[in-house]
Structure 1
Amino acid sequence: MLPDNGGRLGGYSGAAVWGSSPAIDISRRHVYVATGNLYTAPPGVTKCQERQNNQRGKPTHPDQCIGPDINFNSILALDLDSGRIVWSRQLGGYDVFYFASLVPNNPDCPPGPNLDADFGEAPMLLTIHPNRTRRDVVVAVQKSRFAWALARDNGTIVWLIHLLDFVVGGSKGGGIWGAATDGRRVYTNIANGDRENFTLAPSSQTTTAGARVALDADSGEILWTTANPSNDTAQAPVTVANGVVFAGSAASNGPIYAMKALWKNFVVV
């Protein structure tokens, strides 16, 4: 997802496709993938970021330091027959991160903000009806606390929801490993590995555990959020079948929880 560096050091690396399987639209002959953050960037890019005082860019705006063909933290449509990029949408701003950046005062860490805002969940194909208009979309949830619905034909943003008001993101925070959908709702975990205190929107309850979230597929509206009953983090993917959402927990006894899709009450299975 990056230009060929010709075997030279000091260029771009990263933008891995690691968040599970691609999604395939046979009628359009498109393959949809989502990518991760950069691991390295050219010196000119890091110096540009330093001149901007390591500011975070808006994820819906082009980055001022990085070119448009650098497809990190992106959703892309590829031609099924040739693999060429049909369209790409970069959704994250400057983000050069590797785990050594978690070491305080590490001189080898690149300029910040080092968001680690990968797409760690596979894209999902849905047909939704916002404002009673049929739209074929690709939906993906990001570690940066954003959920996105893009038009399958050209990558136009149909809706986005920023989960900032009630969850932290980044390397241990947002949606990761796998979302699910029943066509009417989108479900994702919220890992919260740093155990930040956040609000279980749309309620006023708070937790320091991980959580699961249900979004309206037509609009991205938050329908419910529920904390992990074991009070542990929630790094496992979610699955939905027959009106029930299933999810695991990081608890030492390894529970699996079943939740009614329309509500948020739990049964341990």
Structure 2
Amino acid sequence: MIKPIGFTCDVRFLLKIIGVILGGVASAFAQSPNGATIYAQHCARCHEGDKTGWAPRRQALTKLAPEVISAELHRGFMSKVATLTDEEKRAVTSYLAGKPVEAFRMAALPAPEGLCPAGLAPSDFLSGPRWNGWGIDTGNSRFQPADMAGITADQISHLKLKWAFAFPLAKAAYSQPVVAGGRVFVGSKNGAVYSLDAATGCTNWVYQASTAGVRSAVSIGPRSPSGGFAAYFGDGEGQVHAVDAITGQALWKVKVDNHQRAKITGAVQLYEGRLYVPVASGEEGAAANPKYECCTSRGSLVALDAQTGKQLWQTYVIPSAPRRTRKKASGTQLWGPSGGGVWSAPTIDPKRRLVYVATGNQFSDPEEGFADSVVAIAMDSGKIAWGRKLLKGDFWNVGCISSDKEGCPKGEGPDFDFGSSAILHTLSSGHQVLLAGQKSGVLHILDPDKRGAVIRQVRVGKGSISGGIEWGPASDKDKVYTAVSDRDLNNPEAGGGLIATQIATGEQVWRVPAPKPPCLGEKGCSAAQPAAVTVIPGAVFSGSLDGHLRVYATADGKLLWDLDTRKPFSTVNNVPGKGGSMNGAGPTIVGGMMFVNSGYDFANGTPGNVLLAFSVDGR
């Protein structure tokens, strides 16, 4: 069944960097003086004053359609930041677009084309080759075994495009594709979740989830005792959805946090009939508004009954409730402590009956709780068993990159939080360790039997606001593979690289530097590799902001394949498709096919909107 769907927008990564859609043309000054005044008063402090270069300048965004600008102001990231009336938003949109615009209205997604014929419903989603959730397994290894991958390292150079699907009215493709029962489940920036046929790309159903996009990966699980299977996921408005995996019909929907800026970017984890939900916040970006009382949100882990959506418990990683701290020079009240968002999928430890979350930085002082930490939470009670704080004093919000820094916390930190999941890895000795990659560029190896004590710390990158280690590594039997971002906006050849580390000893096995980006001189081009890594026996996959997916031999780092996705594609749903920067999710390898997103307009990346499916020789 195809539901009516409409255009939506969402941002997670831009909470760190104000790489949001606001722009226009200088020639519009004369055409819209009121809009220019509003822009100067409310927008220029970041978009003209950001010394880091993350907030886009007007001249960089002259090709944006007015409806895209308007949607960002009304439904996207800037709706959480700018306190403007509808008429002021309209005036700013006219100014930025360089022409008059009508009042905002949600643009409708086109009716889906390329629908699947009847009779393709699977009998069991969990019996055949599959990739379920963010990290494949409850330990978030992102390692796909040979029997599930269906592709060998020797076959990778023979991969050919089988089909491409374009997300309508989207400038990014960032949800990890999940494959089960011969179907692909994937979220989108336009707020819809799609079920596609893995072999052909035809559309089974479309579910409109949110007005703020769906970044999280989908988790598939049985609907006992009623039978059937459900697809579970979170959205940019802090809601968790359960839908019938075969029909796309809604089963239940709950909001897991009452804060108005709560959002879910990491995948939910399904285990023993419970959903473990990571909760983050868009409040870090709202701090750029000089009138905003920053900040009152706290990251948390929520447990839900998977059958009903009933909340069982919620645990904040900063236990103390925010309180009034001081006032800005302008008189705006400030609050703290806040932050510690859980941006990534939780990690399940069945042996110790713990759930691990890696947390973000604090949005405001004072320092309390477990920001920039790996936290162990009892899966049955929600009680914090232990927390290992790996960086102190990391107070940061988007106010820190505005021209006056009025909203920046005292003791501004580097924004070196954890954006990726911890990996629970079992060594050949049987001992288990936790692997946690941080935006500082450090890979932490922790002992879960000693309350997260640090075994060793391995530096793989320099670290920066955009990583360091951004979306996370992958591990196989004895090595962990870490891609490095270290993006430098003033030097597109800087950053990037892939490192293989022996987990038992911390020794570097090999390191492959990023090649010179073929796209030098083009917008968004960079050698940085912030996307999540994927590994199969003998081969490791890493995407880059230059739009290339490169595959390396796990033994020695030899390049096996180089795929350029930074180009237009013909699509099975007849929506114009184009690849761009590769960021966020890594490729999904399952059943003899590879599924990968291309396009990432945030943080001055190259826009794109395609999901690409490859098979050996295109068969």
TM-score tier by shorter-chain length is 0.7 to 0.9
1:105, distance to aligned residue in structure 2 (A): 5.0
1:137, distance to aligned residue in structure 2 (A): 1.1
Structure 1 SS opposite 2:413: coil
1:7, distance to aligned residue in structure 2 (A): 6.7
* Mapping 1:1-269, distance limit 5 Å: 1-5=317-321, 10-18=335-343, 20-42=344-366, 66-67=367-368, 70-103=369-402, 105-128=404-427, 134-153=430-449, 154-163=451-460, 167-194=461-488, 208-231=494-517, 232-251=527-546, 254-266=547-559, 267-269=561-563
- The verdict on how the C-alpha distance between 1:265 and 1:195 changes in structure 2, with shifts beyond 3 A counting, is farther
- The verdict on how the C-alpha distance between 1:186 and 1:196 changes in structure 2, with shifts beyond 3 A counting, is farther
Q: Is the 8 A contact 2:474 2:481 kept in 1?
A: yes
Q: Is the 8 A contact 1:29 1:79 kept in 2?
A: yes
Residue type of the alignment partner of 1:260:
A
CA–CA separation in structure 2 for the residues paired with 1:209 and 1:89: 28
Choose between structure 1 and 2 for higher RCO, CA contacts under 8 A separated by at least 6 residues: 2
Partner of 1:202: none
- The verdict on how the C-alpha distance between 1:223 and 1:103 changes in structure 2, with shifts beyond 3 A counting, is farther
CA–CA separation in structure 2 for the residues paired with 1:168 and 1:247: 19
Residue type of the alignment partner of 1:139:
L
Offset from partner CA, 1:17-74 (integer Å, 9 cap, x none): 10x21111112111111101000113xxxxxxxxxxxxxxxxxxxxxxx45xx10000
Q: Is the 8 A contact 1:168 1:196 kept in 2?
A: no
Structure with a larger share of its residues in helix: 2
CA–CA separation in structure 2 for the residues paired with 1:92 and 1:134: 29
Structure 2 SS opposite 1:109: coil
Q: Is the 8 A contact 2:322 2:335 kept in 1?
A: no
Residue type of the alignment partner of 1:149:
I
Unaligned runs of 5+ in 1: 43-65, 198-206
Q: Is the 8 A contact 1:115 1:170 kept in 2?
A: yes
- The verdict on how the C-alpha distance between 1:161 and 1:195 changes in structure 2, with shifts beyond 3 A counting, is farther
RMSD over aligned CA atoms reads: 2.1
Partner of 2:146: none
Q: Is the 8 A contact 2:480 2:503 kept in 1?
A: yes
Offset from partner CA, 1:140-163 (integer Å, 9 cap, x none): 111112111111122121221134
CA–CA separation in structure 2 for the residues paired with 1:14 and 1:23: 20
- The verdict on how the C-alpha distance between 1:27 and 1:103 changes in structure 2, with shifts beyond 3 A counting, is same
Residue type of the alignment partner of 1:211:
G
Q: Is the 8 A contact 1:195 1:209 kept in 2?
A: no
Structure with greater Cα Rg: 2
Q: Is the 8 A contact 2:510 2:556 kept in 1?
A: yes
Q: Is the 8 A contact 2:482 2:500 kept in 1?
A: yes
CA–CA separation in structure 2 for the residues paired with 1:138 and 1:39: 26
CA–CA separation in structure 2 for the residues paired with 1:233 and 1:124: 22
1:10, distance to aligned residue in structure 2 (A): 1.9
Structure 2 SS opposite 1:10: strand
1:214, distance to aligned residue in structure 2 (A): 1.2
CA–CA separation in structure 1 for the residues paired with 2:346 and 2:407: 33
Question: If the length of structure 1 is used for normalisation, what is the TM-score?
Answer: 0.77
Q: Is the 8 A contact 2:499 2:510 kept in 1?
A: yes
- The verdict on how the C-alpha distance between 1:195 and 1:218 changes in structure 2, with shifts beyond 3 A counting, is farther
Unaligned runs of 5+ in 2: 1-316, 325-333, 518-526, 564-619
CA–CA separation in structure 2 for the residues paired with 1:195 and 1:227: 18
CA–CA separation in structure 2 for the residues paired with 1:7 and 1:105: 24
Question: If the length of structure 2 is used for normalisation, what is the TM-score?
Answer: 0.35
Residue type of the alignment partner of 1:84:
K
- The verdict on how the C-alpha distance between 1:86 and 1:14 changes in structure 2, with shifts beyond 3 A counting, is same
1:178, distance to aligned residue in structure 2 (A): 2.0
Partner of 1:62: none
* Count of paired positions: 226
Offset from partner CA, 1:223-266 (integer Å, 9 cap, x none): 22212225322121111001200011111xx3211100121222
CA–CA separation in structure 2 for the residues paired with 1:148 and 1:114: 19
